[in-house]
A and B are shown apart, each in its own frame.
Chain A
Amino acid sequence: MQFFGGSSVAEIAPSPAAPPGTATGLAGNNANMLYIFNRSGVCLLYREWHRPLHTLDPQQDQKLMFGLLFSLRSFTAKMDPTSVDKGNLGVPLLPGQGCSFYSFRTNTYKLSFMECPSGIKIILVTHPKTGDMREPLRYIYNIYVEYVIKNPLYVHGSPIKCELFNTNLDQYVKTLV
């Protein structure tokens, strides 16, 4: 039940709760969107809490997001100023291989990224003034393991349709500052 030194279900406690929506002025939730991809690029989950602007239709949007992350990983692995021998650009990288990024920020949003050794990628899009989201992402991964992986009816590689997972996720995201 231990992964990344995280806690088991019984001990999972929400971080000190801020009144929902205060950080960003959003009604009810502090995050904008969440994506979960598996290693082949299938979008297992897309949750949206506050997204006034939809530039592309959901399919395209998810493909674009995955493509961006793939390219960014190649970019950071190649750009790494501390390693001497780097592979060529465009070579698919294994999870954990080479330097990887964990977040980027624009003037309208902050994207936090986590890739697990199994190739599951979790992306959380929040308000630009959000702090370091690495711990919350690990917590979300734990929720995923508890309610999705351990669900005997879940077919791996297919989109997630577990009510318990969605509820717990929404509850947790509400407590993020």
Chain B
Amino acid sequence: MAAIYSLFIINKSGGLIFYKDYGSAGRMDTNDSLRLASLWHSMHAISQQLSPTLGCNGIELLQADTFDLHCFQSLTGTKFFVVCEPGAQHMEGLLKVIYELYTDYVLKNPFYEMEMPIRCELFDMNLSQAIQKDRVSLFGR
């Protein structure tokens, strides 16, 4: 598994509820990350309109020159996407793990308000552990 550059979580209306940067040179300030999250939400929706066949669920993978972007949309419309190195493997698995952590430590948290920015310590801790496992294998190369 390769290192990821950043992780975004968007609520069903397109608002950014979580953003974590894992050491990219192109670190963004809050405003920019908010704008990009909304932009992604709209483009994800538009891509469904351009499908030649029925049943399109939106963009799952975007490949660019210097990065890949993997996106996972849950059944409720919450989107998780990671920006990683081109050709990174097993990102879908990682996204599913992050989704599980989200359901366990965010949704089951009685103090968490739906669709609001995520401020759950346990989620942050477990997320770092899950990402760290990936990075260890990167440094071991």
Contacts and interface: CB of A to CB of B under 8 A. Distances in A.
A108 B56 contact: yes
A22 B101 CA distance: 41
A71 B39 contact: yes
B20 to A, nearest CB: 13
B50 A64 contact: yes
A106 B49 CA distance: 12
B58 interface: yes
Majority secondary structure, A binding face: mixed
A55 interface: yes
Interface residues of B, number: 37
A64 B49 contact: yes
A62 to B, nearest CB: 10
Nearest to A125: B52
Contacts of A86: 26
Given A78-B32, A78-B36, 15 more contacts: A32-B52, A61-B50, A64-B50, A71-B39, A71-B42, A76-B62, A79-B67, A84-B25, A99-B65, A99-B67, A101-B62, A105-B61, A106-B48, A106-B56, A111-B47
12 contacts: A81-B26, A81-B83, A82-B24, A89-B36, A99-B64, A99-B65, A101-B63, A104-B62, A107-B56, A108-B53, A109-B51, A109-B56
